[in-house]
Amino acid sequence: MKKKIIAVSAILIAACGLIAGCSLSPEGPKQEDKCAHLDEMAHARYSKIELRITTQLGKDTLESAFTFTYGDAVTIAYTVEEVLEIDPADPAAELKTVKRGTATISGGSVTVEGDDAGITAQSAELPFTFREAYFENAEYGGNFFSADVKEPSSFLKGASSCTNMRAELNFGTSFTSLKVTYEGALGENVCAAYTFTA
Amino acid sequence: MNIGRKSLSLILAAALMLGVVSIGGSTASVVTADAADYYSGITATKGTQLLGQLHDLIVGTHSNYTSYDECKTYASKTDPSLDGKGILEFYTHETMTTGFGSSAGILNREHVWPQSLGNWKTSNAGSDLHHIRPTETRLNGDRGNKKYGEVTNGTPQYSRTTSGANSELGGYANSSTFMPLDNVKGDVARIVMYVYTHYNTASNVGGTKESRGSGALTFTRVISASSENAAKQLLIEWNESDPVDSIERTRNEAVYAIQGNRNPFIDHPEYASMIWGDGSYVPPDPPVTVAPTSLSLTPSAVTMSVGETANLSVTASPANASKAVKWSVSPTNVVTIVEGKLTAYAEGQATVTATSTLDSTVKATAQVTVKKSEGGGTANSFTITIDSFDLTEGYGFKTWSAGGVKGTAFIFGGSGEYSSTGMQFNKSKTSYYLASTTATNGPIKSVTVKANAASQTDREWKLLTSSSAYGEVTGKPTNGNDHGTQFVTTNGTKWEVSGSDTFFALTYEFAETKGASYLDSITVEYAASQGGDPTPPPPPEHQHVFEYEDYTDETHLVGCETCTDYLEEEPHVYSSDTDTTCDLCGHERHVHDYKWVDKDDTSHVWKCEGCGEVSKTEEHIYTDDTDTTCNKCDHVRTVHTHSYQWEDNDETTHVWKCEGCGEISRTQAHEYTDDADTTCNVCGHERTLPTEHEHAFEYTDDDNENTHRTTCKEGDYDAREPHVYSGDTDTTCNLCGYVRTVHAHSYQWVDEGEQHALKCEGCGDVKSTSPHEYSDAADTTCDSCGHVREVNSAVFHEAVQKITGEGSLSDRLASIKEAAEAYATLTDEEKALASVKKDHAKFEEAVEALNAELRKLNEAAKSANGLFVSAN
Find all residues with CB under 8 Å of B244, minimum gap 6, and list them.
B30, B186, B190, B266, B269, B283, B286
A-chain residues near B824 (CB < 8 A): 89
pLDDT in tens, B255-312: 999 999 999 999 999 999 999 999 989 888 775 567 899 999 999 999 988 888 899 9
Q: Which residues pair with residue B518 across a beta bridge?
A: B424
Q: Name the closest residue on chain A to residue B869, using Cα atoms.
A: A123
Query: Which of B826, B840, B857 best probes binding to A when mutated, by most A CB atoms within 10 angstroms?
Result: B857
Is the pLDDT reported for residue B699 higher than 50? yes
What is the pLDDT at residue B511? Answer: 65
User: What is the residue type of B238?
Assistant: W
Interface contact flag, A120 B870, Cβ < 8 Å:
yes
What is the pLDDT at residue B704? Answer: 93
What is the pLDDT at residue B706? Answer: 93
Residue B280 in contact with residue B271, Cβ under 8 Å?
no
Is the pLDDT reported for residue B413 higher than 60? no
Residue A10 Cα, gap to closest chain B Cα (Å)? 45
Which among A95, A120, A184 has the least Cβ separation from residue B863? A184
Lowest mean pLDDT among A183-192, B18-27, B338-347: B18-27
Interface contact flag, B861 A59, Cβ < 8 Å:
no
What is the pLDDT at residue B481? Answer: 94
What is the pLDDT at residue A30? Answer: 53
* CA neighbor of B367 nearest in space, from B472, B306, B307, B297: B297
Residue B847 Cα, gap to closest chain A Cα (Å)? 6
Mean of pLDDT over chain A: 84
Among A6-20, B1-15, B841-855, name the most confident range: B841-855
The residue-averaged pLDDT of B756-776 equals: 87
Interface contact flag, B853 A186, Cβ < 8 Å:
no
Q: Which string of DSSP letters, residue by residue, matches B812-840?
A: HHHHHHHHHHHHHT--HHHHHSHHHHHHH
What is the pLDDT at residue A3? Answer: 42
Which among B851, B855, B864 has the least Cβ separation from residue A190? B864
A-chain residues near B854 (CB < 8 A): 60, 83-86, 95
Helix count and strand count (H, E) for chain A: 3, 12
What is the pLDDT at residue B540? Answer: 55
DSSP helix/strand/coil, B333? coil
Lowest mean pLDDT among A61-75, B392-406, B585-599: B392-406
B-chain residues near A127 (CB < 8 A): 867-868, 870
Interface contact flag, A88 B848, Cβ < 8 Å:
yes
Whole-number Å distance between alpha carbons of A188 and A62: 11
* B589 conformational bin, left if phi > 0, alpha if psi -120 to 50, beta if neither: beta
Is the pLDDT reported for residue A54 higher than 90? yes
DSSP helix/strand/coil, B303? strand
Q: Does residue A175 sit at the B interface (CB-CB below 8 Å)?
A: no
Residue B810 Cα, gap to closest chain A Cα (Å)? 8
Residue B191 in contact with residue B262, Cβ under 8 Å?
no
pTM of model > 0.80 = no
Is the pLDDT reported for residue A188 higher than 90? yes
Q: Name the closest residue on chain A to residue B844, using Cα atoms.
A: A88
What is the pLDDT at residue B17? Answer: 41
Interface contact flag, A117 B860, Cβ < 8 Å:
no
Residue A180: which pLDDT band, with cuts at 50, 70 and 90? very high
Query: Which of A86, A129, A183 best probes binding to B when mutated, by most B CB atoms within 10 angstroms?
Result: A86
Angle separating helix axes B793-803 and B834-869, nearest 10 degrees: 20
Which among A91, A96, A180 has the least Cβ separation from residue B816? A91
Interface contact flag, B867 A156, Cβ < 8 Å:
yes
Pairs of CB atoms within 8 A across A/B = 122
Residue B235 in contact with residue B276, Cβ under 8 Å?
yes
Q: Are strands A109-114 and A135-140 parallel, antiparallel or unpaired?
A: unpaired
Residue B744: which pLDDT band, with cuts at 50, 70 and 90? confident
A-chain residues near B851 (CB < 8 A): 85-86
Interface contact flag, B867 A81, Cβ < 8 Å:
no
Q: List C-alpha distances in Å: B140 to B109, B114, B132, B550, B618.
A: 8, 11, 12, 45, 19
Q: Which residues pair with residue B757 across a beta bridge?
A: B750, B769
Which among A60, A88, A94 has the least Cβ separation from residue B857? A60
Cα within 13 Å of Cα(B17), Cβ side = 5
H or E stretch covering B597: strand B594-598
pLDDT in tens, B783-805: 899 887 766 567 777 778 777 77
Lowest mean pLDDT among B214-223, B351-360, B655-664: B351-360
What is the pLDDT at residue A10? Answer: 42
Lowest mean pLDDT among B203-207, B275-279, B422-426: B422-426
Q: Which residues pair with residue B384 across a beta bridge?
A: B522
Percent of chain B residues topping a pLDDT of 70: 88
Whole-number Å distance between alpha carbons of B120 and A107: 106
Residue A1: which pLDDT band, with cuts at 50, 70 and 90? very low
Lowest mean pLDDT among A23-27, B38-42, B115-119, B588-592: A23-27
Interface contact flag, B872 A89, Cβ < 8 Å:
no
Q: Does residue A8 sit at the B interface (CB-CB below 8 Å)?
A: no
Which A residues, 96 through 125, put their C-beta within 8 Å of a C-beta on chain B? 96, 117-120, 122-123, 125
Residue A138: which pLDDT band, with cuts at 50, 70 and 90? very high
Whole-number Å distance between alpha carbons of A64 and B696: 97
Interface contact flag, B851 A95, Cβ < 8 Å:
no
What is the pLDDT at residue B404? Answer: 86
A-chain residues near B848 (CB < 8 A): 88
Residue B518: which pLDDT band, with cuts at 50, 70 and 90? confident
Q: Does residue A21 sit at the B interface (CB-CB below 8 Å)?
A: no
The residue-averaged pLDDT of B159-180 equals: 93
Lowest mean pLDDT among B49-63, B120-134, B712-726, B762-776: B762-776
Interface contact flag, A59 B806, Cβ < 8 Å:
yes
What is the pLDDT at residue A90? Answer: 85
What is the pLDDT at residue B303? Answer: 92
Residue A88 or B180, more confident? B180
| Strand positions, DSSP E, B17-65 | none
